[in-house]
Amino acid sequence: MRVLIVEDEVKMAGLLRRGFREEGLAADIASSGDDALWMARATEYDAIVLDVMLPGADGFEVCRRLREAGTWSPVLMLTARDAVEDRVTGLDAGADDYLTKPFSFAELLARLRALARRPPLERPAVVDVGDLRLDPATRQVWRGDVEIQLSTKEFALLETFMRRPGQVLSRYQLLEHCWDYGYENRSNVVDVYVRYLREKVDRPFGRTSLETVRGAGYRLRRDGEPEAR
Ligand code: CA
């Protein structure tokens, strides 16, 4: 297991590296966000320990740029204080886990081992399907450069489709993901909301990306995919 430590404080970085090496892990140090970006691109690290407090681009920004650059190594962020806001920002920036300073080295190791068990799958914080783009953190949606205003329910439905591009989703599956048991009138609500969505994400742009698959449900077609018959 090879770990990248992103920390500008020389003493802290050195302590971490020595600790990791004593445990038989390989560990490299990046003392700035820029170094971290090129090192993570050059080597597929099993985990990245990323300090939030860095000179220049902070840890949140570095995490965002790593994900934008297509680096999917698991990221554990080190936050300075136990602030909910920091943890939320970190997770929304694409981090997988966090630990608050001061932390126990044993816990850091255990969390890294847990993270390294996950394959480096693409887990984008922002979802793209063709020229549709959806940001779950800010709850914004765009078709190309045009921002689209959606209601909470429309947003939830579109997110469900965009996380499964090309897949046929039954009305039941869509209900399961977007409506809870508190909702009484479930009979044709999916059809109604798919219609609303089409009016906002397709029709104004001359598209037909949300298609009905007869007898099965609906699907969001990827660009270039032929229409279902
Ligand atoms: Ca630091």
Q: How many domains does the chain have?
A: 2
In a domain, 228, yes or no: no
Tokens, residue 76: 């554990």
pLDDT in tens, 68-96: 888 888 999 998 776 788 888 888 888 99
The answer on 111 and 13 residing in a single domain is yes
Q: Containing domain of residue 210, as a range? A: 127-220
CATH of the domain at 92: 3.40.50.2300
Q: How far is the CA of 10 from the centre of ligand 1 (A)?
A: 9
The answer on 110 and 199 residing in a single domain is no
Ligand 1 ion: residues within 5 Å (CB)? 8-9, 51, 53
Specify the pLDDT at position 163: 86
Specify the pLDDT at position 183: 63
The answer on 107 and 12 residing in a single domain is yes
Report the C-alpha dihedral over residues 203, 161, 139, 81, rounded to 10 degrees.
-160
Q: What is the DSSP string of 120-138?
A: -----SSEEETTEEEETTT
The answer on 150 and 187 residing in a single domain is yes
The answer on 110 and 7 residing in a single domain is yes
Which of 197, 159, 202 has its CA nearest to residue 177? 159
In a domain, 83, yes or no: yes
Q: How far is the CA of 51 from the centre of ligand 1 (A)?
A: 5
Which of 1, 25, 126 has its CA nearest to residue 74? 1
Mean pLDDT of 217-221: 94
At 226, is the pLDDT very low, low, confident or very high (cuts 50, 70, 90)?
Answer: low
pTM, full prediction: 0.64
At 131, is the pLDDT very low, low, confident or very high (cuts 50, 70, 90)?
Answer: very high
Which of 116, 143, 165 is a domain's end point? Answer: 116
The answer on 100 and 26 residing in a single domain is yes
Q: Are 78 and 69 in contact (CB under 8 A)?
A: no
pLDDT in tens, 16-37: 999 998 888 888 999 999 999 9
Q: How far is the CA of 17 from the centre of ligand 1 (A)?
A: 15
Query: Percentage of the chain with pLDDT > 70?
Result: 90
Whole-number CA gyration radius for the chain: 21
Q: Are 148 and 141 in contact (CB under 8 A)?
A: yes
Q: How far is the CA of 54 from the centre of ligand 1 (A)?
A: 5
